[in-house]
Chains A and B, each alone.
Chain A
Amino acid sequence: QSVLTQPPSASGTPGQRVTISCSGSSSNIGTNYVYWYQHLPGTAPKLLIYRNNQRPSGVPDRFSGSKSGTSASLAISGLRSEDEADYYCAAWDDSLSGPVFGGGTKLTVL
């Protein structure tokens, strides 16, 4: 069981906006930054969002992150076929003294 909880799957059609949720607790999301990763099979995970809502250079502004209390969300607007991937949230956990990940959400573009 992952420390952070994500829905196992999400889907949308091209051009649509989809959101992926991530639920945690006061020891992780509640007090620390949230990060989001995109993972395509056979490749290295790619940092999409850092420190709740910041995008690294090169990440399209179609991707956005938000946080409220002990939950966070990743929103993808203008969905494209190449967005089909697994998405993971992550945060530092004060109780474990280390980073923890969500179980991942498989996004399907219909």
Chain B
Amino acid sequence: QVQLQESGPGLVKPSQTLSLTCTVSGGSISSGGYYWSWIRQPAGKGLEWIGRIYASGSTNYNPSLKSRVTISVDTSKNQFSLKLSSVTAADTAVYYCARDHDGYGANFDYWGQGSLVTVSS
């Protein structure tokens, strides 16, 4: 059974960089066949896809966040990470990592439990 777990600071100051890591167990990122995504949900709002990475390191980002987002992968640790720079209060959200089964779809079959990140001074 594949499991994903987000980790990282729960509080980030405005203008700083939000950093989260997703640790995958029960399956290997390097085996390929899946994309690994970050998705967020601000309080009271819907889900927003942030971006994704393939085992090779190839990435795709949401155009609305692209200038501030970097997603990287460490296959030796079976982890992938999110960095979001120049954060504001609007970036306060629950951040999820998820496995995407389809290359051109939204087939997120496994999710982490979510990590609440608050942007505040």
**In the assembled complex, which residues on chain A have CB atoms less than 8 Å from the CB atom of B114?**
44
B99 CB, nearest partner CB in chain A, Å = 10
**In the assembled complex, which residues on chain B have CB atoms less than 8 Å from the CB atom of A92?**
102, 104-106
Whether A101 contacts B48 in the complex (CB less than 8 A), given A44-B113, A44-B114, A96-B63, comes out as: yes
Does A56 make an interface contact (CB < 8 A)? yes
A94 CB, nearest partner CB in chain B, Å = 8
Looking at the complex, which one of A33, A35, A102 makes contact with B46 (CB distance below 8 Å)? A102
Please measure, in the bound complex, the distance between the C-alpha atom of A46 and the C-alpha atom of B96, giving whole angstroms.
12
Q: Which residue of B lies closest to A43 (CB)?
A: B113
Q: Size of chain B's interface in residues, with CB distance under 8 A?
A: 26
Give the A-B pair count, Cβ closer than 8 A: 76
Q: Which residue of A lies closest to B49 (CB)?
A: A99
B107 and A100 within 8 A (CB) = no
**In the assembled complex, which residues on chain B have CB atoms less than 8 Å from the CB atom of A46?**
111
The 8 A CB mask of A69-110 against B (1 = contact, 0 = none) is 000000000000000000010111000111111111000000
Q: Which residue of A lies closest to B61 (CB)?
A: A98
Looking at the complex, which one of B45, B105, B112 makes contact with A51 (CB distance below 8 Å)? B105
**In the assembled complex, which residues on chain A have CB atoms less than 8 Å from the CB atom of B106?**
33, 35, 90-92, 99-101
A47 and B105 within 8 A (CB) = no
Does A63 make an interface contact (CB < 8 A)? no
Does A68 make an interface contact (CB < 8 A)? no
**In the assembled complex, which residues on chain A have CB atoms less than 8 Å from the CB atom of B45?**
103
Q: Which residue of B lies closest to A86 (CB)?
A: B46
Residues on B facing A (Cβ under 8 Å): 37, 45-49, 51-52, 60-63, 96, 100-102, 104-109, 111-114
Excluding A44-B112, A101-B49, 10 further A-B contacts by CB distance (< 8 Å) are: A43-B113, A44-B96, A44-B111, A44-B114, A45-B47, A46-B111, A47-B108, A47-B109, A51-B102, A88-B47
- Name 21 interchain pairs, CB-CB below 8 A, sorted by A: A33-B102, A37-B47, A44-B96, A44-B111, A45-B96, A46-B111, A47-B107, A47-B108, A50-B105, A50-B107, A51-B105, A88-B47, A90-B47, A92-B104, A92-B105, A92-B106, A96-B63, A101-B106, A102-B46, A104-B46, A104-B47
